[in-house]
Amino acid sequence: MHIAYLSAGSNLGDRRHNLKSALKRMDGAGTVRATSSLFETEPVGLRDQPWFLNLAFELATGLPAEGLLRFCQTTEVRLGRIRTFRNAPRTVDLDLLFFDDDVINEPDLTVPHPRMGQRRFVLVPLAEIAPGLRHPVSKLTIREMLQRCEDPSEVRPYDWADG
Ligand code: A4P
Ligand code: MG
């Protein structure tokens, strides 16, 4: 059994519903053992787009890392097709942050996720469920990574019940 940490984001359609559906579908890859609360986050990178809802979760899985990535990609496609049209942006983005203590550098998979240290929308939720988890390369904990993160973008709590 492996322990993986993932980040989920949505900025299109019914964002809460999309994330709830994604979490439910991840049960097909293993057991979701912890889920952070929900955050509304300012877009990073391409800024001219709607704000995201983001969360992080811990998954116990029997799948290998590549298999988990493929499961995530299938889940993204399935959920994206429910409400959108051809060429529309995806409704759910699932990123693999950590997979045990593995360091993976394949053409289609980099673990730990290479951009997580520069992203408060990843680190704030992750710090809720795994503050003491250590990055296998830098050896920093998530709490320490968050303290050092210089991303100025806004990350604010969002209630599952909010409109
Ligand atoms: N890939 C490699 N490593 C990984 C990994 N550890 N996890 C490859 C997931 N995928 C990984 O990803 C592109 C390729 O990355 C895949 O083919 C996979 O083999 P994608 O999910 O298809 O495309 P993307 O997500 O649009 O592109 P990219 O560059 O991965 O974007 P990011 O880094 O995921 O950023 N702002 C806020 N506030 N909240 C967000 O959630 N998300 C993004 C997307 C930008 N800004 C955001 C948010
Ligand atoms: Mg992605």
pLDDT of residue 149: 98
Q: How far apart are CA 160 and CA 71, in angstroms?
A: 25
Distance 94 CA to ligand 2 centre (A): 6
pLDDT of residue 47: 80
pLDDT of residue 45: 86
Asked if residues 109 and 20 have their Cβ atoms less than 8 Å apart, the reply is: no
**What is the maximum span of the chain, computed from C-alpha positions, in angstroms?**
43
pTM, full prediction: 0.94
pLDDT of residue 131: 98
User: Which of 5, 4, 3, 7 is CA-nearest to residue 122?
Assistant: 7
Note down pLDDT in tens along the chain; length 163 residues: 999 999 999 998 899 999 999 999 999 999 999 999 999 999 998 888 899 999 999 999 999 999 999 999 999 988 886 555 544 557 899 999 999 999 999 999 999 999 999 999 999 999 999 999 999 999 999 999 999 999 999 999 999 886 5
Q: What is the dihedral of CA 103, 105, 111, 117, to 10 degrees?
A: 100
Q: Establish whether residue 44 lines the binding site of ligand 1, counting it when its CB lies within 6 angstroms of any ligand atom.
A: yes
Element (H, E) at 10: strand 2-10
Distance 72 CA to ligand 2 centre (A): 10
Active-site residue numbers?
A: 81, 90, 93, 95
Q: How far apart are CA 137 and CA 101, in angstroms?
A: 9
Q: Establish whether residue 54 lines the binding site of ligand 1, counting it when its CB lies within 6 angstroms of any ligand atom.
A: yes
pLDDT of residue 81: 61
Q: Establish whether residue 43 lines the binding site of ligand 1, counting it when its CB lies within 6 angstroms of any ligand atom.
A: yes
pLDDT of residue 65: 98
Distance 130 CA to ligand 2 centre (A): 21
pLDDT of residue 49: 85
Q: Establish whether residue 93 lines the binding site of ligand 1, counting it when its CB lies within 6 angstroms of any ligand atom.
A: yes
Asked if residues 112 and 135 have their Cβ atoms less than 8 Å apart, the reply is: yes
